[in-house]
Amino acid sequence: MIWPYYSLISLGLAAAAPFLLWREKARAGLPQKLGRVPKRIGRVASKAEKRIWFHTVSVGEFNATYPLLEAFRQSHPDYSVFISTATATGQRLAEEKVGDWATVFYFPFDLPWSVKNWLDAIKPEAVVIAETEIWPGFTYECKKRGIKLCIVNGRISPRSFKRYQVISGFINGVLARFDAIGAQSEAEAVRYRTLGANPDAVVNCGNMKIDGIRTLSTEGQSQLREDLGLSDEFVIVGGSTHEGEETALLAAYNAQKPPCRLILAPRHPERFQRVCDLVEANGCRARRYTRGDRFEQPNDIYVLDTIGQLMAFYSVGSVAFVGGTLAPIGGHSLIEPFGYSIPVVCGPYTEKTRDVARSLLERRALIQVQDATQLAQQISRLAANPNERLRLGATGRTYLNDSQGAVNRTLLLLNSLLETPAQEVEEARPKQLLHGERA
């Protein structure tokens, strides 16, 4: 059944060729995606005795996997690590974070010649895939070569689960190829088993994004507030926002009594200028991170026009709105603001982080709204109730601390897959990653 799949993928790629060539974002890494292996990577692979390939699609997946990468590096120094991403932003982040000790490249299109070139060049002992990437062709070619396959921080949203059930006869065979699957929760583990994964291969390891949260020290938080020109104002931080959500946050900001500040962090770089234009259209002045701006005038609104700084900026917030939840995206990380005990508000669309949202709601640690009107109402309520903000933030932080350990469990899973001694991993456990406290 793999060749009909390859035919469909080939036709789809041919149809998308004008788009891939026209859009700069889509052209990123195109030669590598089509199977061209740079000579430097081939040389590195040929000299390595043991090789492992980690795939993290973009920024979110890389950030979630980063603590595992560091822990694996410490516990398995004899392995050469190869890391692929599918996006330019993910590629830049990976190069910045691990480029000095790992080989970073673009993941190939799921076509036989593209995949073959990379697998033949790297010859990995195992391929470790983060979260949701399930490529039929790639997994087929791996199993042909006897390469072990593992999913870490695995998740299948309820929406994706329903879609996969429609093609269950096909997807069952794909999931059965995986030697190990570390799921984010027991609910995710059940979905994997239901869709055909080997029940014995699926383990509930927990969510590595929780382990991966790194907070600023108290001194760092104070310095950032000073750099931004903030004192004791009520600060709204809109993180990973999408189209329509900045407008809702601007309305919520307009409804507050001064002094109030708003920081907007759009999810995608191509929307940075669009968000600045929205700020100006609101009668405010857009201040930008990349220009080194700070708050000065009462109507200043700050646009975080960069990637990788959002976690730090949550530290200056009084309340955080997590994006992709009013827009029908499925939600981004609901837990990051709790690293600083910041209360979190989100919209109704939390499919991508459903289990975390459910746990937070059960603990009464999360405020979920249905629309922009309710968002403004809840932010106004929190602005007027500092004790409620403290309660929400503290409850969410407790959940965060109670949920640690996923990196350790995932590392042990990889250790078992690679058949290395368990004691070696136990001695290399990563340290607590939550450093700073709420200033």
First to last CA, the chain: 58
Q: Is 243 a catalytic residue?
A: no
d(CA 286, CA 263): 10
Beta bridge partners, 237, equal: 263, 320
d(CA 38, CA 307): 27
d(CA 57, CA 125): 20
Six token digits for residue 22: 């026209």
Q: Which of 61, 133, 141, 188 is catalytic?
A: 61
d(CA 374, CA 326): 11
d(CA 38, CA 424): 34
d(CA 265, CA 244): 13
d(CA 297, CA 74): 48
d(CA 371, CA 347): 7
Backbone φ, ψ for residue 15 (5° rounding): -65, -30
Look-up of token digits 């690679």: 418
Contact 10, 109 (CB under 8 A): no
Among candidates 360, 359, 319, which has minimal Cα distance to 337?
319
Output the CA–CA distances (angstroms, integers) from residue 374 to 206, 248, 251, 278, in the order listed. 32, 10, 11, 21
Instruction: Give the residue numbers marked as catalytic.
Output: 61
